[in-house]
Structure 1
Amino acid sequence: MAGEGCEFEKTFTFSCLPSKKFTFLQNREMLSLLMKWSMLGRLSAQAFSFDQSFVPYNSEKFAHCFFTDSNVISSLCKAETRAWVPLEKPIQSVKVEVVPCSKVSIDLFDPIYSCGIVRPSGHIVKCFHEVYPDYDELRQMLVDEESEHYPIISPGERQEFLFRLFKHLCLGGELCQYEETIEPYISTTKQIYKDLISVQKDQETKKISVVTTVLKVSAFNESGPCFPGRPEEEEQTFAYLIVDPFKRHVTLFYHIFGIGDF
């Protein structure tokens, strides 16, 4: 969905939450992995509060107000996040995709362990590739629809935020050093997901469910697409707004594909 202009009956306003910390940006072991995967300094998250009730059908309005809010713009354009300078030009429209987010466990990944992608030791099986000599069955399953292992994850589960997050980490950044075993990908996915997603327990059924809404977002100014990148750029440049409607918190979770400083 796309929005033209911000002509809404009421608007959301946002305030930065600098005290909000994310484990994956603090934990030394995870920072080391992000460096190895060429994502350190390019994968990050920033939290904000907002002042109106959020419901998923308002996602377009919410995202547009986010990217045009003065507090958001000033926070994202600070020196330590120089990638966000394009937001200094007024955002005219947004594109929003509501991403399914219902998983409360990592059972989704169970088929990976039983189909020949991973050995009993946890090592990822290598496979022949004319261009990439270190190619493996895991990455082939993630990106190649012709792979014999591609169907082990259903189309619906591939849309889930948990699986998208796992895929982003496995593919990594521009100078990614890929893992020999699957455990670092699984454990890091689990921790980031835990950092970003909120759940609640039904007092009667004791069932745990996700209360977070995840929005994949991109923004456009007068020159065209500007955030987080242009359509022709690498798929590993992405941005999500992760909304907790009860706390009225939203996290911008993003990665800018590339090398070195912005």
Structure 2
Amino acid sequence: MEQANEGFLIIPGREYPFLSDKQVNEYFIKWSMKGRLNVATFTFDHMFVPYKADSFFTGFFDSPSVQNALTIPYTKTIVKINSVRCTLTNLDAFRKLSSVTHECGKIKTRLDDVFESILISDKLRECLLLEDSDSYSIFTEKEREEFLFRLFKHICIGGEICQQEDEIKPYIDTVRKIYRDLICVQKNPDSKAIEIVSYVYEVRVYVSELPGLIF
């Protein structure tokens, strides 16, 4: 697949249920995340092959239709990508959070601390952010690399004026809805197991004339 920046077209009107979910939107406002998580869907008139992901994303962000849809104000960009692990088909990994919550589901509190300008006032944030804490080790590095875990961490930390939840359930319920809408699965014809067929990437976009990240 050659780099082909004219092969992308946005699909207008594609709906993602979590974006119109009343409860999710209320949480997004509370967590200072309203407008911070955006979704757009595009078609591509070639076959995507993972080993050519670099040229795919370079072509994607150089495409006029993509730049217009995503309001990227520059025509030439520098793209850096990292593949993100995405294998989890359920939320069983989060059962480990029982060690940072009470039996009723309430998140355990702790003395306040600050990490990179983020207030750490409960065991959940301690588990997610403080590598030298005992609770950090309840998740393996492989689990932390998962797209599901990254989504969960993102909504738990929230924005600058995030109002934290006292209980774990709102975070679990919300990440379930988001993950379900973003990931495609299918049944393996041989094993009959449900498998994820989506590819997930972390993408950073730069402009050569500017010093910082633009997207």
TM tier relative to shorter chain:
over 0.9
- Kindly provide the amino acid, as one letter, of the partner of residue 126 in structure 1: T
Q: How does 1:25-104 map to 2 (within 5 A)?
A: 25-77=19-71, 87-104=72-89
Size of the aligned set, in residue pairs, is 210
Secondary structure of 1:15 counterpart:
strand
Question: What residue identity is the alignment partner of 1:24?
Answer: F
The answer to whether the 8 Å contact 2:106/2:168 transfers is yes
Task: Give % identity.
Answer: 37
State the shift of 1:24 in Å.
Answer: 1.6
CA contact (8 A) 2:2 2:55 kept: no
Q: CA 1:76–1:148 in 2, change beyond 3 Å: closer, same or farther?
A: same
Match of 2:150 in 1: 164
Aligned to 1:225: 212
TM-aligned CA deviation for residue 205 of structure 1: 1.8
Tell me how far apart the structure 2 counterparts of residues 92 and 192 of structure 1 sit (CA, whole Å). 29
Q: Given that residues 61 and 77 in structure 2 are in contact (C-alpha distance below 8 angstroms), is that contact kept between their aligned partners in structure 1? A: no
Q: Is the 8 A contact 2:108 2:124 kept in 1?
A: yes
Is structure 2 residue 72 aligned with structure 1 residue 125? no
2:201 match: secondary structure: strand
Equivalent position of 1:16 in the other structure:
10
**Does the CA-based 8 Å contact 1:102-1:160 persist in structure 2?**
yes
Aligned partners of 1:59, 1:224: CA distance in 2, in Å?
24
> 2:182 & 2:95 partners in 1: Cα distance?
22
Q: 1:26 to 1:200 in 2, by over 3 A?
A: same
Residue 10 (structure 1) shift: 4.2
Distance 2:186 2:23 in 1: 29
Deviation at 1:130, TM superposition (A): 4.6
**CA positional deviation for 1:58:** 1.4
**In 1, Cα distance between the equivalents of 2:194 and 2:119?**
43
The structure with the greater share of residues assigned to helix is 2
CA distance in 2, matches of 1:138, 1:220: 33
The answer on whether the counterparts of 1:126 and 1:134 sit within 8 Å (CA) in structure 2 is no
> Within 2, Cα distance between the matches of 1:227 and 1:193?
25
Deviating above 3 A after TM superposition, structure 1's stretches of 4 or more consecutive aligned residues are 130-134
- The reply on whether 1:148 has 2:134 as its aligned counterpart is yes
Matched with 1:81 is: none
* Equivalent residue, structure 1, for 2:187: 201
Residues 59 and 215 of structure 1 are in contact (CA less than 8 Å); yes or no, is this contact kept in structure 2?
A: no
How far apart in 2 are the matches of 1:25 and 1:155?
30
Is the contact between residue 3 and residue 59 of structure 2 (CA under 8 Å) also seen in structure 1? no
> 1:154: how far off?
0.2
